[in-house]
């Protein structure tokens, strides 16, 4: 079975992107699907949320500059079937430095190619920075599918349109003509508010075949888990947040035929 690469992106911060990357990766691993989480955000929130301490030189900064390989950065986690390529602050410099290199949008694709071709992982999930900068665009150029996290709040659709336009630019420029929208994950859903339901309905109207049925609730437990270096499954496995991410993983498995 081939490896599928998913880029989890949104140019806005605070929309549940890293929470989704970490917990979706853990939920897939719980289903015994070999999963690699790639932390491409210099803030390294996914790295700390999964219980790995930031270390200088432990990121894709070196490989993106032809110094070392992605394989050397793969780190085991405490979760079976889940590995991590961590991030650290040096990766922030890559935003500027990559623009000065040849084929700068294709660097990550090249770096991850050997990991992908090894067949070691069924899924590679890339957690992008909260901006459509050089690293995020590299992630889109390297991915088979884009997963967008969209908060159930006003103006969410405006951001959705912006990122979809960037996908089309990559396709028309033949940088990644095969890139497809894999799905939209609605996050921070508050069942008590009419606005949350309205935003979900609006996205369903625009992208009926792409929105996932599972919505991620706004819960304190999901917010607390990263501060303990744990996924929601380790922190509170019976919580509504854990149930939601298990259901999302199940949808992803069915949609892309990822069965272990």
Lay out the sheet containing 180-189: strands in order across: 75-76, 82-85, 35-39, 123-127, 4-9, 145-151, 180-189, 211-217
* Cα gap 176→169, rounded to integer Å: 9
The stretches in the chain having pLDDT less than 50 are none
Q: What is the pLDDT of residue 124?
A: 98
Residue-wise DSSP of 170-201: HHHTTSSTT-EEEEEEEEEE-TT-HHHHHHHH
Task: Report the C-alpha gap between 64 and 111 in whole angstroms.
Answer: 7
Question: What does the pLDDT read at residue 260?
Answer: 64
Q: Which tokens in the block code for residue 88?
A: 């650290």
Distance CA 121, CA 111 (A): 15
pLDDT for residue 191: 72
Write down the pTM of the prediction: 0.95
DSSP state at residue 214 = E
Q: Tell me the domain boundaries of the chain.
A: 4-255
170-185 confidence digits (pLDDT tens): 888 899 999 999 999 9
Over the stretch 198-251, which tens digit does the pLDDT of each residue have?
A: 888 888 888 899 999 999 999 999 999 999 999 999 999 999 999 999 999 999
- 């890559």: which residue's tokens? 94
What's the gap between Cα 41 and its chain centre? 10
Residue 194's pLDDT is 80
CATH architecture observed for domain 4-255: 3-Layer(aba) Sandwich (3.40)
Q: For residue 155, what is the DSSP state? A: T
């Amino acid at each position: 079975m081939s490896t599928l690469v998913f880029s989890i992106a949104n140019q806005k911060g605070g929309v549940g992107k890293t929470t989704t990357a970490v917990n979706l990766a853990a939920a897939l691993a719980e289903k015994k699907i070999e999963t690699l989480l790639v932390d491409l955000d210099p803030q390294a929130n996914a790295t700390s949320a999964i219980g790995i301490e930031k270390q200088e030189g432990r990121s894709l900064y070196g490989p993106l500059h032809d110094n070392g390989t992605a394989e050397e950065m793969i780190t085991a986690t405490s979760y079976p079937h889940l590995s991590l390529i961590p991030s650290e602050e040096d990766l922030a410099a890559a935003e500027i430095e990559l623009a000065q290199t040849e084929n700068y949008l294709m660097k990550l694709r090249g770096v991850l190619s050997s990991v992908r071709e090894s067949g070691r992982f069924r899924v590679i999930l890339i957690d992008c920075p909260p901006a459509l900068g050089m690293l995020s665009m590299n992630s889109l150029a390297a991915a088979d599918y884009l997963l967008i996290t969209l908060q159930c709040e006003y103006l969410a659709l405006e951001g959705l349109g912006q990122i979809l336009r960037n996908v089309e630019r990559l396709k028309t420029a033949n940088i990644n003509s095969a890139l497809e929208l894999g799905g939209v994950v609605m996050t921070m859903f508050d069942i008590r508010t009419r606005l949350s339901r309205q935003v979900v309905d609006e996205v369903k109207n625009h992208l009926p075949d792409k929105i996932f049925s599972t919505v991620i609730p706004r819960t304190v437990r999901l917010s607390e888990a990263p501060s303990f270096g744990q996924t929601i499954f380790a922190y509170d496995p019976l919580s509504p947040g854990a149930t939601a991410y298990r259901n999302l993983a199940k949808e992803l498995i069915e949609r892309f035929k990822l069965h272990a």
